[in-house]
Structure 1
Amino acid sequence: MKKTIALFAAVLMLLCAVPFAAIGEMNLAAAKTAGDFPDAVFDPLGDAASVEYSHNTNFTGESGTEFVSDGENGIKSANGGMKSSVVTITITFGEAVSNARLSFDYKVSSEARYDYLSVNGSTEKTLSGEIDWTNYSQTVTAGSVVTLAYVKDSSGDRGSDCVWFKNFALQSLGTVTFENVDPLAVLTVRNAEGNIETPTANSSVYALAAGDYSYTLTRFGYQMQSGEFTVSGDMSIELGAMTELETCTISFSVTPAEASVTLTHPTGGEMQADENGAFVLPKGEVYSYTVSAANYVTANGSFTASADAVIEVELTYAGEAWDGTTVTQPAEENGVYMISDAAEFEWFAQFVNAGNSTANAVLTQNINFNGKARTAFGIYDYADNNSGYNGTFDGRGFAVTGIAGEDGILDCIGPDGVVKNIIANVNIASDANIGGIANTSKGLVENCLVAGSVSTSANYCSSAGIVGRAMTGNTVRGCVNNAAISNTTNSYASTLSLGGIVGYTYGTVENCYNTGSLSAKQDRTTNKGIGGIAGQIHAPAIVRNVYNVGSVTGPEAGIGGIAGVLKGALQNAYFLEGTASNGVSSTEGTPTAEYASKTAEEMRSAEFAAILGEAFNNDTDGINGGMPVLTWQGGSTEQPNEIEIALLQYPELIRDFVDKTQTVDMNALMNDIQLPRPSTLEDAGILTDRSNQKVLMESMNTDAFEFYGYHGIVYRPLPGSPAVTVQYRISVQDRNTEEILGSRVFELTILPLTEAELAEAEQVMRNACTEEVYWNGIKGENANKDSVTANLAPFSELVLNENGGFDYIRGAVNITFGGIDVDDLPGYDPMSYQPWREFRSSHPSIITCENLLLTRPEYDTLVTIDSVFTYTKYAKYWEKFGENSDYARFEAFFKQPVSVTVKVLGTSGSGTVEDITATVRINGRNFAGFTNPAEFTFTASGDADSTVWDAISAALAASGCTFDGDGYLLRSVTDVNGVTLSVGTYGEACGWFYKLNGEGDQPAAGTNALADGDVIELFYTDNSEAEGIITLVGDVNGDGIVTVVDALMLLRCALGTEPTTAAALANGDIDGDGVLSAEEALAVMRMAIQM
């Protein structure tokens, strides 16, 4: 596909581009033959690594058969049924590997916790049970050793008792070093798909594959820095000093006066007040506050700092402070105990534990336990599945404060127990299972909120804000944790089950969120199971419609923004970017993992609340820093604006990319699509202020669907694969403020390719790539390629017609994008001087490159014209996935060579062409003492198509001068004494020019053919017009200088969007063929910027 305008835009972008060293490609020639290992599965590693199979003494097979072909495209272990056997693959990387990423897919079917796949021994991970195809990758260097072992226990088989491997690959990495990183700032690097990259041990150094990336550098109180970069090898990025934000002063007026104020920021942490109790805060940020006092209900709120202000907070009385001894029986109504104070609460707890586990109760007032020892009700009995509290306890939204000691409000909720509508403030610590509402639950916890702190020192128990152990059959719904959760164990190799909502769960967690911090000791590097929502999600548990904004700290490999260990299902789950490096730290079995990170701004949007579901409202009341709150907390349902309503039409405006009048079925896509342009979006009411708005388009799966401007590129699954559904987001953004004015997420479904259509396309490509088809396309009025006497005719595209032949599309503006394109020849570089791009002539002086104009020579001459054909509809798979062997067949659609050799009849018939000579004189005109070299005689074959530039460059080289430039623009010449004369040194009309046989008004030297006896004077002047240089090459608008404006004007003329003036043709037709082209516009751009 032609990208003429994109190539021209690339020139502008290259003004600030930095060249990088190319990543060294690994030798992919197979180190072993295909027969050395089944199906040559390791061939992609080439000679970069050696691979060995091994086994222990309990393996009864022959050496070399530890792993066998799986009958498809992978290998599988062969020690099934061999008790206590171990088979191992050892991959050792050689000196050719400097920095690379090894990846492969694995699948496990084994007896859970007994037979397992071990990666790099116990230091890395063990994988057991039923695990479907999963990708694994790690960084390797010279000398790295990777071991993959399948370990059998001493008992019989379960499952398939096997591990499978396929898709081994080795990808070179470049080391990207960020310099001058503020030590207190957070550096985040994302790849082109928006996924966060993990740094090396040095947080400022990344090992990245070739491609496009972006970065942000954030520090609370400072302006964010951001940028984009392209990795093609090792590189450094220098960051500037961070700039502080403007501040304002916020004070609090609280009742009672002795109340304390805690102020926090999602990434800045806790704010410190000045000596007057006021807070000096960066403007524009959202802050959350907690106001607390003994015997009062803690108050929470949030605000955006915009100007100096005083915030007034009056606390609610928490109820009479309990003395720790008084116990009073509450009143009873209709079998329900009406609890009005802590003494009555304590009576009820003791009553339940005395064998009345089904008693029901409600709160009628706030409860204040005053930090005294109390009874946690609902007794847990390991031997009794029905143990625990099995009544209904309704807090009715009242607060229970002063909870201290080693337990939550309840010890255990039984399978029939319901605990709901409690606002709890706790300060509890234990070395056993612990949760703010309940240590253990088998029942329902609903609409509860916990603040304060929960801590454990155990390495084997569960701890969380709401429920420590959420066992089979339990549900936690509509709950919030604001409490700080911590584990202080000194043990190693432990699964801590530390979570914001639940420590671990075998049941359901839904419609919940966590704002509290989670922490474990970071130096206990082998600990795991620490997550913002749940420490562990076991199968068959399901966790859905949840989000976490609390920071998660601990051993890097064991923490997750949502879950530490995932074995069950995670759906519609989100974590605040920066709270943890990953949403889930590890998975086991065959989990469902649907989660993503969000920025704070994204979480504060109405769209995010809608994504979470009907249980959530927008925080319009300042409850949670602008992030979604549960409906029982308050907030409101923000209605979509007019743009969001109009966006519902978007899919209906999409058309087929080739036939732009044809509507498409977005549930059965097979071809690329044309996205609606701004004028169409304006007519539809999506762009309400077109000049000040723009459309942002984002695909959630760029391997299946990606945007290229208003072109939607569809990558269909391979034959035999299922259809794929892709989400994509369309947003309208204010150009000036960058505010998102409206956004919608849509879905499309892409059907797989079929073997029949691929086979047909391959045959079409073979038919096209023939000399006959090529010659018929370019022959013009010539009847025979052996007697060419007239101009040839280039074409842009081949389109299959009804008769099975081809129609030739001429002119880039007429391309249909549905056929076979004449593509850019290999080696074409728009930033370098070249006479060819799509049609290359072996004798440009006889048949010109590109437009194929004929100048008959004196004698008959053979001329070869060549091009390459690309069937874009299928070549795109090779361009995107060419490194994947599954896509090898698509190479046949990309840049396939075609050529024809023709005989151009000479004016004098057959004969021999004599050599030509030319004289070159170089004259610096005494500027800066430049030393003129001796006269030079240039000699070349008469049929070599030599140009004036060939003679000049040869003369400069022979004289010992050095130069910078090419046949379009000679920027400078340095003589043998080091004197340099450059373009522009003495004014705008200053530079190097040439006269040919005394005539100064000449085309570019690289396009001007040389004749026998020519005399060339290359000279330097500060007044080109005085030298008779009237036609200034590139001066399209005739103002006497060559600028970017000339290049843009020439491009518009070349594309036909602006009339071609006489000046444009005279000064812009660099190659003298009488036609203006985009290539000439690029050349003028290079002249303007002196590249």
Structure 2
Amino acid sequence: MCGLSGQFVDSTVLILKSEVCRTAFSQNRSWLKSFLQGAYLFGAKIGSFGGIFAMKKTIALFAAVLMLLCAVPFAAIGEMNLAAAKTAGDFPDAVFDPLGDAASVEYSHNTNFTGESGTEFVSDGENGIKSASGGMRSSVVTITITFGEAVSNARLSFDYKVSSEARYDYLSVNGSTEKTLSGEIDWTNYSQTVTAGSVVTLAYVKDSSGDKGSDCVWFKNFALQSLGTVTFENVDPLAVLTVRNAEGNIETPTANGNVYALAAGDYSYTLTRFGYQMQSGEFTVSGDMSIELGAMTELETCTISFSVTPAEASVTLTHPTGGEMQADESGAFVLPKGEVYSYTVSAANYVTANGSFTASADAVIEVELTYAGEAWDGTTVTQPAEENGVYMISDAAEFEWFAQFVNAGNSTANAVLTQNINFNGKARTAFGIYDYADNNSGYNGTFDGRGFAVTGIAGEDGILDCIGPDGVVKNIIANVNIASDANIGGIANTSKGLVENCLVAGSVSTSANYCSSAGIVGRAMTGNTVRGCVNNAAISNTTNSYASTLSLGGIVGYTYGTVENCYNTGSLSAKQDRTNNKGIGGIAGQIHAPAIVRNVYNVGSVIGPEAGIGGIAGVLKGTLQNAYFLEGTASNGVSSTEGTPTAEYASKTAEEMRSAEFAAILGEAFNNDTDGINGGMPVLTWQGGSAEQPNEIEIALLQYPELIRDFVDKTQTVDMNALMNDIQLPRPSTLEDAGILTDRSNQKVLMESMNTDAFEFYGYHGIVYRPLPGSPAVTVQYRISVQDRNTEEILGSRVFELTILPLTEAELAEAEQVMRSACTEEVYWNGIKGENANKDSVTANLAPFSELVLNENGGFDYIRGAVNITFGGIDVDDLPGYDPMSYQPWREFRSSHPSIITCENLLVTRPEYDTLVTIDSVFTYTKYAKYWEKFGENSDYARFEAFFKQPVSVTVKVLGTSGSGTVEDITATVRINGRNFAGFTNPAEFTFTAPGDADSTVWDAIAAALTASGCTFDGDGYLLRSVTDVNGVTLSVGTYGEACGWFYKLNGEGDQPAAGTNALADGDVIELFYTDNNEAEGIVTLVGDVNGDGIVTVVDALMLLRCALGTEPTTAAALANGDIDGDGVLSAEEALAVMRMAIQM
């Protein structure tokens, strides 16, 4: 149910999930397993506030736990500077503490904010702040940060997230809208450079409508980092200077492109100019500095000539960064050596040829163009021959006949090309009529180009107007020169079907601000697929309109369907001065939800308004996976996102894109460009090229699916084409035996699912989420890679597929009946009764269990011990309210009288008189509850709540040693004394009364007294952080020194165990008091101070842990101060309790 989840698994480190933890550790280390699951962290053993306040605030809990697990030597941490940490209660002001004295912070609001000044932002309960303007229509709350003279050059950064019901409430930074999104989004980092006098305003603006959800903005992690000014001198004005940080990320220069404001650290730079040797270097920033660059050196050149047929053909030669090359008077090209160039050779009535080469020496490149077919006269129409119901099209006249035939009501007619087609720029018919009112409109047959070229496409349409939902268009090489003020695409203006293995060259243009345009498909509607396609055409939008989403893309204008295994080399352009236009992307202008775009790359330049262009997509609302764009084609891969998209994309250099590794990353649909087709960058397998020969790891990886087993029965193989249950992934030893891990100690396995809504990795557990009843099966791709743990190089990688079958109504109904049968008092009692025959006469210990498994007789078998869980049954889950970081003695089994029947292990101590005790738990049917946990907010999954944490209980009678009788109430006196610190008002003496069999503790009495007196407090039965009196005076831990805080004495004695574990007796007198000197009060035993240095730190927790494990001898001081529950034994649970004390959680 809870645990740590990892994105990768290696051969020595277990990436943790509760199921993995349960089987990972032997029983004598079950405490560690329990901790990693979040289980039994403290139980009844945590707690004390009898001296725990003499401590430093230290490091975050997770880092502390890591030190516990790694058993860091004391010497390694003993001298650490343990910086004070802020608690949530210190916010909102403390969130700005990292700015120090360098800046002043003010809150403000407009008249529609109805709260008090200074309350515009409040604590978010964790480590940040959030706006407090919920429900206040048309309100504006603002944070103004003003930087003083001490700031010369620095970077302000912070994280934010925004929630808005309909994109009308927004965050504005310095007057510019930063985020207007529907629904809470992930944390996003913002940073900007500031100097003395800089003013940064953060305003949350609400519209005039009511709230629908949280509707606020959150901020956290404010930081101010001093910057050094790095000036590059003597930079060639025609060269490109690139500076990268130690992580390889590109740094942005100031307005002067040769000056950078950089934080302290290591950096590298490159200076590149086409035709010149690259300069590079490394430098370390510790303050202002300048770097003198030398003059750039020209590369050697060579002369490249073209011999073309026909002789009148024109040659266009381009370079990725140098642009179009110009020939000399003889038609030859003088080119810098060592660079890769692409050429296009074209002539009227011929099929355009493309190729590439690396310039290394003088050479002549011969290109013979293929005849495009007889040029059409624009009027002749001829019926083609028909074979087996398929029209065999051999020229443009026959093509035009077929187009007219389809549009005359024959939308399912099939055709193939038998020759190249040359429309000669004449007006022609685009077939497949689009009808807005008919979802099935368009061409619904199969049109196979068989790799022939269709040239001379001109006018206002692509080859087709609309492809219907059953239409298939494939294997066409098209050369188009089309322009329109409507939706337009080189293959189809609109598609609801399949376009596969097509290539478009030429140009596509639109002048409309409301239509979609692209090289392959303009509008790719719901249900469409574009697969294995290439666009080389220039795509442009010439509209003069503003504030428009242009839907301009290399492959699709917009898509609601699937785009996969495609790439774009054509340029995209829109007017740059229309600064608020958007939706311009190298692959797609817009990717709507639920569209999926995957295994794609773009190398074409994207020009337009800076905020509206993306190297991959202009606007992303759907899923983008395994997508790449050439560095420099656009500043960002995606210009904007909306909703909750999946965005997996990256930029690559040209050199990286020409590598065999890049082709492998794109997947099996791509080959290396060994034929010089695409400038050395990957091509589709149907285009040519060749696949790199797999190495031994990649060959071995072919076995991977065969090594997968059922998650419950780990000996059972599984059908990866018909999955219904979770799967067990092969562990490192198995991978080593299979030859997949060839050097196990230096390698790790990376596992990635391309659709985490259907399939997820958690360690070696593959979690399968089946579609709902009535839904189709779903196919998911997943990638398995082997990585060198030292260099992070990918040594081998393969993408596999699995298919998940949908749930059925019958199996869900059966599972619901099983769950109802399990959640009964009878089943629960039979599981825990132990040696007791009757729940009305309990005298012996009860027996907890971990899981219920349905047996052959229709009853249940009880699985005891977490290490024996099968994962196929019904688990005893964490009770609601269980918090491993808080004080409570129960997790899975709760007792109403822990002194008679303990929580969790259910040990019985017979009382004096017969006593009724209720034990309760919750059951979770993990196999089906996982759907509720993942998709519970979706109403379609409402029925799965019945499988998650369903309550079950039983009331038993524990027989007393004296039979039946009545236990008298107990009373205790509580006195609260602030000892005159800060004018704290002491409440009146309080009398606490409780039933004698209520298992009351000292903490119960203190908490009741504080509440009854009107005081408020922060803490629990072992850590009382602060108390606030009725006048608002607060006394907190550490205010007056390390030794100050709240302590208590019981019947005059100061050395006491944890208040939450100290049993209360009739007549007890408790004094809760605040002091800055515990020793002066007679409190010399500092609970948790295992090493006796007077403070409780992480070192004490580590020492206690080692004592509990037996790796460190137990001293008298360790036993006196570390035995929190007073049972005479040191335990790992007590070590973790001391950790809590050390970091004041």
TM-score (norm 2): 0.55
Moved more, 151-160 or 957-966: 957-966
Seen in structure 2, the aligned counterparts of structure 1 residues 1013 and 698 have a Cα distance that, compared at 3 Å, is same
SS in 2 for 1:128: coil
Distance in structure 1 (CA, Å) of the matches to 2:214 and 2:1095: 77
For structure 1, the 5+ residue unaligned runs are none
Q: Give, in angstroms, the shift of residue 304 of structure 1.
A: 1.4
Deviation at 1:110, TM superposition (A): 2.4
Tell me the C-alpha RMSD between the 2 structures.
17.2
> 1:501-530, CA deviations, whole angstroms, 9 ceiling, x for partnerless residues?
112222211101111122223333333322
Note closer, same or farther for the CA distance 1:906–1:329 as it changes in structure 2 (3 Å cut): closer
Q: List, as ranges, runs of 4+ consecutive aligned residues in structure 1 with deviation greater than 6 Å.
A: 1-36, 642-1091
- When residues 871 and 487 of structure 1 are mapped into structure 2, their CA distance, relative to the original with a 3 A threshold, is closer
Deviation at 1:203, TM superposition (A): 2.5
Distance 2:598 2:882 in 1: 53
- Asked if structure 2 preserves the Cα contact closer than 8 Å seen for 1:26 and 1:97, the reply is no
**Equivalent residue for 2:676, pick from 606, 622, 639:** 622
The answer for the alignment partner of 1:407 in structure 2 is 461
SS at match of 2:611: helix
The more displaced of 71-80 and 957-966 is: 957-966
| DSSP 3-state at the match of 2:647 | strand
CA contact (8 A) 2:56 2:1142 kept: no
After the TM superposition, which of the residue ranges 853-862 and 120-129 deviates more from structure 2? 853-862
Distance 2:1073 2:744 in 1: 53
In structure 2, relative to structure 1, the CA distance for the partners of 1:570 and 1:925 (3 Å cut) is closer
| 1:703 alignment partner, SS class | coil
- Secondary structure of residue in 2 paired with 1:644: helix
Contact 2:836 2:846 in 1 (8 A): yes
Separation in structure 1 between the aligned mates of residue 118 and residue 128 of structure 2, nearest angstrom: 16
1:13-162 paired onto structure 2 within 5 Å: 38=92, 40-122=94-176, 124-162=178-216
- Of 822-831 and 287-296, more deviation after overlay is shown by 822-831
Deviation at 1:613, TM superposition (A): 0.6
Moved more, 504-513 or 114-123: 114-123
Name the CA shift for 1:307/1:33 in 2 (closer, same or farther; >3 Å): closer
Tell which deviates more after alignment, 673-682 or 921-930: 921-930
**Deviation of the 1:12 alpha carbon:** 36
Between 1 and 2, higher relative CO (CA 8 Å, sep ≥ 6) is seen in: 2
1:665-723, Cα deviation, whole Å (9 max, x unpaired): 99999999999999999999999999999999999999999999999999999999999
User: Do structure 1's residue 787 and structure 2's residue 859 form an aligned pair?
Assistant: no
Query: Cα distance, 1:310 vs. partner?
Result: 1.3
Report deviation, 1:572: 0.9
Compared with structure 1, are the counterparts of its residues 10 and 708 closer, same or farther at alpha carbon in structure 2 (3 Å cutoff)?
farther
For residues 272 and 683 of structure 1, do their structure 2 counterparts lie closer, same or farther at Cα, with a shift above 3 Å needed? Answer: farther
Whether the 8 Å contact between 2:87 and 2:127 is mirrored in structure 1 is no
Further displaced range: 687-696 or 150-159: 687-696
Kindly provide the CA deviation profile for residues 469-519 of structure 1, in whole angstroms up to 9, marking residues without a partner as x. 222222111110111112223333333222211122222111011111222
**TM-aligned CA distance change 1:1000 to 1:278, over 3 Å:** farther
- Which residue does 2:1038 correspond to in 1? 984
> Could you say if the C-alpha distance between residues 437 and 1044 of structure 1 is closer, same or farther in structure 2, counting changes exceeding 3 Å?
same
| SS of residue paired to 2:176 | helix
Deviations 1:62-88 (Å, cap 9, x if unpaired)?
333333222222222333334444433
Whole-Å separation in 1 of the counterparts to 2:537 and 2:962: 97
TM-aligned CA deviation for residue 226 of structure 1: 0.9
DSSP-derived class of the 1:601 partner: helix
Cα distance, 1:754 vs. partner? 40
What is the rounded CA distance, in whole Å, between the counterparts of 2:1018 and 2:935 in structure 1?
39
840-849 vs 388-397, greater mean Cα deviation: 840-849
Tell me how far 1:447 sits from its aligned partner.
0.7
Of 343-352 and 1079-1088, more deviation after overlay is shown by: 1079-1088
Identity over the aligned pairs, expressed in percent? 98
Distance 1:723 1:451 in 2: 37
* Distance change in 2, residues 1:4/1:306 (3 Å): farther
Q: How far apart in 2 are the matches of 1:963 and 1:240? A: 67
Q: Deviations over 1:640-682 (max 9, x none)?
A: 3579889999999999999999999999999999999999999
How many angstroms apart in 2 are the aligned matches of 1:1078 and 1:85?
52
Which residue does 1:895 correspond to in 2? 949
Q: Is the 8 A contact 1:800 1:807 kept in 2?
A: yes
Q: Provide the secondary structure at the position in 1 that maps to 2:694.
A: coil
Q: Which moved more, 1:396-405 or 1:915-924?
A: 915-924
Q: Matches of 1:1025 and 1:601 in 2, distance apart?
A: 70
C-alpha distance in structure 2 between counterparts of 1:807 and 1:314, whole Å: 78
Contact 1:28 1:46 in 2 (8 A): no
The separation in 1 between residues aligned to 2:864 and 2:710, in whole angstroms, is 22
SS at the partner of 2:200? Answer: strand
* Cα displacement string for residues 44-100 of structure 1 (whole angstroms, at most 9, x for unaligned residues): 233333333333444343333333222222222333334444433333434433333
Q: Shift of residue 123 of structure 1?
A: 5.4
Q: Distance in 2 between matches of 1:39 and 1:962?
A: 21
CA gap of 1:1036–1:550, structure 2 versus 1, over 3 A, is farther
Distance 1:316 1:157, change over 3 A: same
Cα 1:438–1:645 change in 2 (3 A) is closer
Question: Which of 371, 376, 393 is the matching residue for 1:322?
Answer: 376
Deviation at 1:297, TM superposition (A): 0.7
| Shift of residue 1031, structure 1, vs aligned partner | 61
Further displaced range: 968-977 or 727-736: 968-977
Q: Is the 8 A contact 2:58 2:1142 kept in 1?
A: no
Provide the residue aligned with 1:261 in structure 2: 315
Q: Residues 1020, 582 of structure 1: CA spacing in aligned structure 2 closer, same or farther, 3 A cutoff?
A: closer
- The structure-2 alpha-carbon separation of the partners of 1:627 and 1:174, relative to structure 1 and needing over 3 Å to count, comes to same
Counterpart-to-counterpart distance in 2, 1:225 and 1:1004? 67
Structure 2 CA distance for aligned equivalents of residues 622 and 710 of structure 1:
42
- What is the SS of the residue equivalent to 2:849? coil
Query: Residue 847 and residue 516 in structure 1: after superposition, are their counterparts in 2 closer, same or farther (change >3 A)?
Result: same
**Residue 140 of structure 1, CA deviation:** 3.1
SS of 1:311's partner is strand
CA 1:663 to 1:388, structure 2 compared with 1: closer, same or farther past 3 Å?
closer
Q: What residue number does 2:1055 align with? A: 1001
Cα deviation for residue 607 of structure 1 reads 1.4
Q: Distance in 1 between matches of 2:351 and 2:119?
A: 70
Question: Could you tell me how far apart the structure 2 residues matched to 1:258 and 1:817 are?
Answer: 74
Q: 1:656 to 1:311 in 2, by over 3 A?
A: same
**Cα pair distance change 1:187/1:845, threshold 3 Å:** farther
Say if 1:1060 and 1:220 are closer, same or farther in 2 by CA, change over 3 A. farther
CA–CA distance in structure 1, aligned partners of residues 234 and 908 of structure 2: 60
Q: 1:994 to 1:11 in 2, by over 3 A?
A: same
2:605 counterpart residue number: 551
The TM-score with structure 1 as length reference comes to 0.58
Q: 1:488 to 1:790 in 2, by over 3 A?
A: same
SS of the equivalent of 2:702 reads helix
Cα gap change, 1:369/1:667 in structure 2, threshold over 3 Å: closer, same or farther?
closer
Deviation at 1:820, TM superposition (A): 46
State the secondary structure of the residue aligned to 1:597. Answer: strand
8 Å contact 2:57–2:83 — kept in the other structure?
no
> 2 CA distance for matches of 1:20 and 1:725?
51
Q: SS at the partner of 2:185? A: strand
Q: Following the alignment from structure 1 to structure 2, what is the Cα–Cα distance between the partners of residues 79 and 620?
A: 61
| Alpha-carbon distance in structure 2 between the residues aligned to 1:530 and 1:652 | 44
Contact 2:91 2:128 in 1 (8 A): no
Counterpart CA distance in 2 for 1:1084 and 1:754 is 50
Give the C-alpha shift of residue 426 in structure 1: 0.9
Q: Does the CA-based 8 Å contact 2:88-2:125 persist in structure 1?
A: no
Residue 145 (structure 1) shift: 3.7
Using the TM superposition, name which of 748-757 and 448-457 deviates more.
Answer: 748-757
CA shift digits 1:228-268 (9 cap, x unpaired): 11222232222211111111111111111111111111221
Quick one: distance in 1 between partners of 2:1137 and 2:1015? 25
What are structure 2's unaligned runs of at least 5 residues? 1-54
Separation of aligned partners in 1, 2:550 and 2:684: 28
How many residue pairs match? The answer is 1091
Q: CA offsets per residue over residues 925-972 of structure 1, 9 Å max, x none? A: 999999999999999999999999999999999999999999999999
Aligned to 2:475: 421
Could you say if the C-alpha distance between residues 1075 and 382 of structure 1 is closer, same or farther in structure 2, counting changes exceeding 3 Å? closer
Q: 1:312 to 1:1081 in 2, by over 3 A?
A: farther
| Cα separation, partners in 2 of 1:8 and 1:578, compared to 1, 3 Å | same
Instruction: Give the superposition deviation at 1:594.
Output: 1.4
Following superposition, the deviation at residue 174 of structure 1 comes to: 2.5
Closer, same or farther: CA 281–641 of 1 in aligned 2, 3 Å: farther
The Cα of 1:448 is off from its aligned counterpart by 0.7
Distance 1:796 1:186, change over 3 A: farther
